[in-house]
Amino acid sequence: MQLRAYAKINWSLDTVGVREDGYHLLDMVMQSVSLHDTLYLEPAEGLSLRAEGPVRVPVSEDNLALRAARALQRHAGSAEGAEIRLRKRIPTGAGLGGGSSDAAAVLRGLNQLWGLHYSLDTLCDIGLSLGADIPYCLRGGLCRVRGIGESIELLDRARVYHLVILQPCRGLSTRQVFTALGAAEALRRPDTPGVIRALQESALGALPGVMGNTLQEVSVPLRPAIRQAITQLREHGARAAQMTGSGSAVFGVFSNAQAAHTAWESLNKKYRACYLARTLTEAEENCP
């Protein structure tokens, strides 16, 4: 079985509170993009993971894809196994949801391979116990995601948006970013309904005034290259640009495919991790 695990971007990310257990409550607009990892699943006696590709990841028990397989196995009380081969392209420590997307693909694939017939809601419950982005990655699309990742509202998509994604520096740990957030004072917050309206009306000109990521403001002092990369994207024609997730990747959205390709050709010479991408159609996401 072969599956694609798509990266995601945050059109907006707002922190709206903190639960008693310390988890931050979020309000985000997220969308799947064409940059992806590929996973190959084969029946086997035990569970194993191999990784290859331009991005290196550990294949220890800490790997989220392997943890997802073991969690599904425990939930089902199953002795089934699988060999998981991961071709990794999504950069790590980037805020692009690569690990979560790999885990989501494993849950979907093994659910089918092992004949478990679990509902999407059940898979999301299993995924949420491992990582906040996994339920979204299981569903994909353009969504408003709230809470700690468990509340997902699917939104209508009006068009495909063309992107350039950069990772200008080494990754940031989520814990490091949220610790800095706790010490921050005034933060610029996105207009989340305005972001949704602009995306659905294809109003690219409105995006800079409504987009935002509260984590970007506390991440930039830790990694100044993030701000520099955002500036580079704008100077190369991006209509809007910002950091995704907890960083350190940033993305720019362009008027059309040619404008994005022209910017990518130039920026690819300056940045080692530079990707030409676009948002996905519903038909693409429904294909393995």
In angstroms, the CA 140 to CA 125 distance is 15
Given this model, what pLDDT does residue 147 score? 94
**133 catalytic residue (yes or no):** yes
For 196-251, the pLDDT digits (tens) are 999 999 999 999 999 999 999 888 888 999 999 999 999 999 999 999 998 899 99
Distance CA 62, CA 156 (A): 36
In whole angstroms, give the CA distance from residue 135 to residue 123.
Answer: 8
Q: State mean pLDDT over 141-149.
A: 95
Mean pLDDT throughout 248-265? 98
- Structure confidence at residue 217 (pLDDT): 87
Give Cβ neighbours of residue 180 (< 8 Å, ≥ 6 apart): 218, 219, 221, 222
- Identify the bridge partners of residue 153 per DSSP, sorted by sequence position: 144
Q: What is the pLDDT of residue 157?
A: 87
The C-alpha atoms of residue 99 and residue 93 are separated, in whole angstroms, by 9
Which residues are within 8 A (CB) of 267 and not within 5 positions of it... i.e. 6 or more apart?
164, 166, 232, 233, 236, 274
Residue 88 is among the residues annotated as catalytic for this protein: no
Checking if the pLDDT of 180 tops 80, the result is: no
**DSSP one-letter code for 26:** E
Domains in the chain: ranges and CATH: 2-155 (3.30.230.10), 162-284 (3.30.70.890)
φ/ψ of 49, rounded to 5, equals: -135, 130
Cα dist from 120 to 25, 68, 108, 135, 276, whole Å: 23, 14, 8, 9, 30
Q: Which residue has the tokens 């931050």?
A: 24
Question: Which pTM value belongs to this model?
Answer: 0.94
Tell me which residue of 259, 255, 187, 167 sits closest to 24, measured CA to CA. Answer: 187
Contacts of 261 (CB under 8 A, 6+ apart): 276
Are 140 and 6 in contact by the 8 Å Cβ rule? The answer is yes
Catalytic residue among 8, 14, 37, 88: 8
Instruction: Give me the catalytic one of 14, 27, 102, 133.
Output: 133
Matching residue, tokens 């950091």: 243
pLDDT (0 to 100) of residue 89? 97
